Amino acid sequence: MPSPPNILVLCTGNSCRSQLLHGYLAQLLGPRAAVYSAGIETHGVNPLAIEVMREDGVDIAAHTSNLVDEYAAVPFAYVLTVCDHAREACPVFPAAAVALHHNFADPARATGSPAEVRAQFRAARDQVKAYAQQFVRQYFN
């Protein structure tokens, strides 16, 4: 039996957007895929990303912020970039990988009151969740 496909979610700092998508894809796909996330830099997993995912029943508290170079030897079937900067700075992956891109606004750059910042994190989470559901429908059904 072949091993499940590997999916890499890539963004600049591997702190918010890629962590959100990693969490949803892991939840939606379970054993049907191995999901990784990384950044071209590491900024640590944002505590508000953990909080808003927990509100939606997804626990990403154990996730780590990883550099893309750590996964150079992993044969990815899909590479999903979630910000323009990562797509532009992304290392080249084998041509066999399906490369997909969607630029999500970075909630880590949100400004305003704590309630306004949380609202921006929730909005990003909901956009990422819809994207994850669409990806799974298109590539795994």
Residues serving a catalytic function are 11, 83, 90
Sorted by sequence, the CB contacts under 8 Å of residue 54 that are 6+ apart come out as 61
- Cα distance between residue 113 and residue 44, in whole Å: 22
- Cα distance between residue 75 and residue 96, in whole Å: 9
Q: In which element (H, E) is residue 55 found?
A: helix 47-55
